[in-house]
Amino acid sequence: MLKKFFKYIIEVIVVIIGILIAYNLEQWSNTRNNKRREIEVLKEFKAALGADLIEIKKNIREHENSILASRIVLKVIKDNLPYSDSLDACFAYTHAFTVFSGRVGPIEQLKNTNLEIISNDTLRLNIISIYDEAFTRLRLVELVILRDYEQLRDFDRLYFDAYDAEGVSTNKSVPLPFWGIMHPIRFTELKTSPEYAALLRARISNQRGLLRGTYNPIANSLSNLLNQIDRELEKLE
C-alpha cells in the first residue's frame, strides 16, 4: 500500500514538473517573441523619426533663408536702395512656408495593437509625446506662417510678375528657391507700401517664434529620442 502511495506521489510530481517545464518553455517563447517584436517596432520608429528629423532640419533652413530674405528686403525699403536683380530670390523667399508631414505609420499601428510592446516606460511615453503633443503643436503653429503667406500673395498680383521657375538668381546670401524667383514690376510703389513692410516684419516675428518655440526644440527632442532608441536597441540585441 505504501509503495503504491509513493508511486502515486512520484507520478503526481512528474506531472507537475512536466506542467512547469511546459509553462516555462511557453513563457520563454513568448518573452523571446515579444523581444523580437519590440526590436522590430523600435527599428520602425527609428527609421520614421529619423526621416522626420531630416525633414524638420530642412524646414528650419527654409525658414532661416526666408527670415534672411525678408530682412534684406526690409533694409532695401528702409534705406531706399535701388532695385537689383539679386532681390528676386529674396522676394520669392519671403513667401516660404512649410507643411510638416510626419510619418505616423508606426505609432498608428502600435496604437491599434499594443503600446506596451515597448517595455521601457520612459521611452514609450517619450515616443507618444512626440507624436501626440509636439507634432500636433508644430502643425498648428505652421498655420500662422501659412496665413502670412496668403496675405503676401495679395501683393503678387499688384507688384510682381508670376513666379519664374527657370530664372537664375544672382543673390549670394540666399539660395535659389525651387519654386522660382519673383521679379517686381512696380518696385518704387512696393517700397513705399507701409502694409508690405509691416507684413514682412510680422512674418519675421512669426517665423522666429516658430523656430525658437517649436522647430528647434522638437529637433532637439527628436535627436535625444533617437539616441534613447539606439541605447534601448543595444540592450535588447
SS (H, E, C) 64-98: HHHHHHHHHHHHHHHHCCCCCCCHHHHHHHCCCCC
Task: Identify the pLDDT of residue 227.
Answer: 97
pLDDT tier, 88 (very low <50, low <70, confident <90, very high otherwise)? very high
Query: Mean pLDDT throughout 41-50?
Result: 92
Amino acid residing at 85: D
Task: For residue range 144-202, list pLDDT tens digits in order.
Answer: 888 888 888 888 888 998 788 888 888 888 998 888 899 999 899 999 999 999 999 99
Residue 83's region, left for phi above 0, alpha for psi from -120 to 50, else beta, is beta
> How many other C-beta atoms lie within 10 A of the C-beta of residue 100?
16
Give CA–CA dist 97/83, Å, rounded.
25
pLDDT: is 113 or 84 the higher one? Answer: 84
Find where cell 532695401 sits. 76
Give CA–CA dist 3/8, Å, rounded.
9
